[in-house]
Structure 1
């Protein structure tokens, strides 16, 4: 299913990038309300200013598609209640456009949001239930924002920002067994993930300089966190609270900083790993509790390793070459 959803995103990006725009429109409003099963709604607003699209659907297996091309300060809102619903929202170019999707129900819902080009756009999605999916993509834009929030079990959020500057991405998940992934390319970007519960997986990948990556996993066990950064002057931080958690940080470049903290839970047994390649890099790792393991490795010159462990039966290995 995830492969199908990703293909849908790619097809939507291609269609929007190559499609023609029609006449300008300003201050238009489009509203639709549907109740029942397997309803479909599609709304398109071209090259406008202060346009509003709002969709309400209550039922199962419903689908809503909203497309806004160009313009400024356009808004697209979708609200769906129940299960197996789909919301697709797309905006191209322009300035300060916003899209928001809200889905409430037992589960199986999907949100796919795409913004291409432009400045200061915002996309946000909220889901409550199980096995829900949020896909958010922003390409070729600056000072944009992505926001995804999920509450439940077995949910998946994926955020991608490419060729961007000064953009921000945030994922928040509560429950059990959720997956969060973020990918950014460009400079001066900020990616953050917060997860509360057990058996979550969080990953972040950034290419460019001056990037910030942050993962926070609270109050649980068996969580996994992974961060990869390329280029220079980047900062990565991971905070985990609980037991049998694991984290990995990998950085390549100059003047990077990696910081990680693992605080004890019942039984502890956390694992931390940091790897850096380059010069003038710094890695710091703190572990509190018993039977923790940590490994730190640096390749290059003028690098610094710091490690602190509090408890019993802990092990740390440091390698510099």
Structure 2
């Protein structure tokens, strides 16, 4: 997604049926060496502000429509921020310090808002919002962390989106952590917090009022959450090494809670129906630290139907538990 669009090319693309643009405002403030800024505004009452202080920073803003607002502030070396806005009342803010950071934001629709703050080395953020009332907040520090957020609004009627506000929050520190959040629907909420090394978190939510919370502070942990329905809740907490958690929830009002603090543990939860509750807790044997669970604990939970409850607690290593309820 490279947004280098010249003013002439943008005008041609936007000219069919478009009225004369007016009352747009662009402010560029550059201090340092070899900084580059490119702003294209076509529409009405768009606002763009770019401040670059450093060496070789690059900023691109393309605004189409009405009352879009973009603020980019960069300080450091070789940072890049790209913004594309098409719609009404979109707002985005990039704040970057450090070296070689990249932030990209695409907003289409109505009342989208994205705030990205990066301070570190080789950090990457990619935000795509299309729909109604979406909101994203990304904060990254450290080295080599990567975040991707995709949000699409709810109901559509003859090309118009109507619905509530999805919220995605990503907080990353550490080294080479990766986070991906995709939400489609209304009032879904996803929060990912990563502070270790080589952790990976993926969240996909479809429907209404689903909530996912992932916290990773260990090494090479993996969390994968998929929720489709209404009022589903998922919580994954990982603080050990090489743990893996997979959650799939389909239906309404299901709840899953996974906590992993050992080594090489696997938790797999599948719930379909209404009102299920699953709890999985995996840890090393007391007094042995991670050495107490070099052999993997494994928990597989499948619940179908209505209002089933499962609780699995494993300490040590080499334990295996399978639950099937219908």
TM-score, length-scaled by structure 2: 0.44
Structure (1 or 2) with the larger CA radius of gyration: 2
